[in-house]
Amino acid sequence: MHDPRALIEMGPEAVRRLARRGYTLDLSALESLQSRRSQLILRVDELRAETKRVAQDVQHAARQGEDTGALKERAREIKELIRSAEVEQEQAQTELRNLLLTVPNLPLDSTPEGDSDEHAVELRRVGAPQSFSFEPKDHVDLGEALGILDFGRASKLSGSRFSVVRGAGAAIERALAALFLDLHTKRHGYTEHSVPYLVTRQTMTGTGQLPKFEEDLFATSMGDRELFLIPTAEVPLTNLYADEIIPPADLPLALTAYTPCFRSEAGSYGRDTRGILRQHQFSKVEMVRICDPKDSQAELEKMLGHAEACLKELGLAYRVVQLAAGDLGFSAQITYDIEVWLPSQQTYREISSCSDTGVFQARRAGIRTRDEHGKTKPVATLNGSGLPIGRTLAALLEQGQQHDGSVVLPEALVPYLGFRRIAADGTTEA
Contacts 24+ apart (CB under 8 A), 53-59: 54/78
Q: Which of 134, 122, 110, 102 is nearest to 4 (CA)?
A: 102
Residues 6+ apart with CB under 8 A from 223: none
Angle at the Cα of 296 from the Cα atoms of 292 and 298, rounded to 5 degrees: 120
End-to-end CA distance of the chain: 52
Residue 353 appears among annotated catalytic residues: yes
Q: Are 268 and 241 in contact (CB under 8 A)?
A: no
Cα(7)–Cα(110) distance, rounded to whole angstroms?
Answer: 19
3 state SS of 308:
helix
Catalytic entry in 74, 278, 349, 420: 278
Cα(398)–Cα(394) distance, rounded to whole angstroms?
Answer: 6
Catalytic entry in 350, 355, 368, 406: 350
352 is in an annotated binding site: yes
State the CB neighbour count (10 A cutoff) for residue 124. 9
DSSP assignments along 41-103, one per residue: HHHHHHHHHHHHHHHHHHHHHHHTT---HHHHHHHHHHHHHHHHHHHHHHHHHHHHHHHHTTS
36 is in an annotated binding site: no
**Sheet (strand 225-229) strand order:** 198-199, 225-229, 219-222
Cα(151)–Cα(353) distance, rounded to whole angstroms?
Answer: 27
Catalytic entry in 161, 263, 319, 368: 263
Residue 263 appears among annotated catalytic residues: yes
**Helix axis angle, 139-146 to 168-182, nearest 10°:** 120
Residues 6+ apart with CB under 8 A from 324: 111, 112, 113, 114, 115, 116, 119, 120, 121
Cα(150)–Cα(152) distance, rounded to whole angstroms?
Answer: 6
344 is in an annotated binding site: no
Q: Are 382 and 299 in contact (CB under 8 A)?
A: yes
221 is in an annotated binding site: no
350 is in an annotated binding site: yes
244 is in an annotated binding site: no
3 state SS of 272:
coil
Q: Which letter, b or e, does each residue of 125-144 get, where b requires 16 or more Cβ atoms within 10 Å of its Cβ?
A: eebebeeeeeebbbbbbbbe
Catalytic entry in 368, 391, 398, 406: 391
Residue 166 appears among annotated catalytic residues: no
State the CB neighbour count (10 A cutoff) for residue 67. 9
Catalytic entry in 163, 283, 353, 355: 353
Strand segments, DSSP code E, in 118-179 are 121-126, 149-150, 164-165
17 is in an annotated binding site: no
351 is in an annotated binding site: yes
296 is in an annotated binding site: no
Residue 83 appears among annotated catalytic residues: no
Residue 158 appears among annotated catalytic residues: no
| Binding-site residues from annotation for ATP | 263-265, 350-353
Q: Which residues are annotated as a binding site?
A: 232-234, 263-265, 286, 350-353, 383, 385
State the catalytic residues. Answer: 263, 278, 350, 353, 391
Annotated binding residues for L-serine, written as ranges, equal 232-234, 263, 286, 383, 385
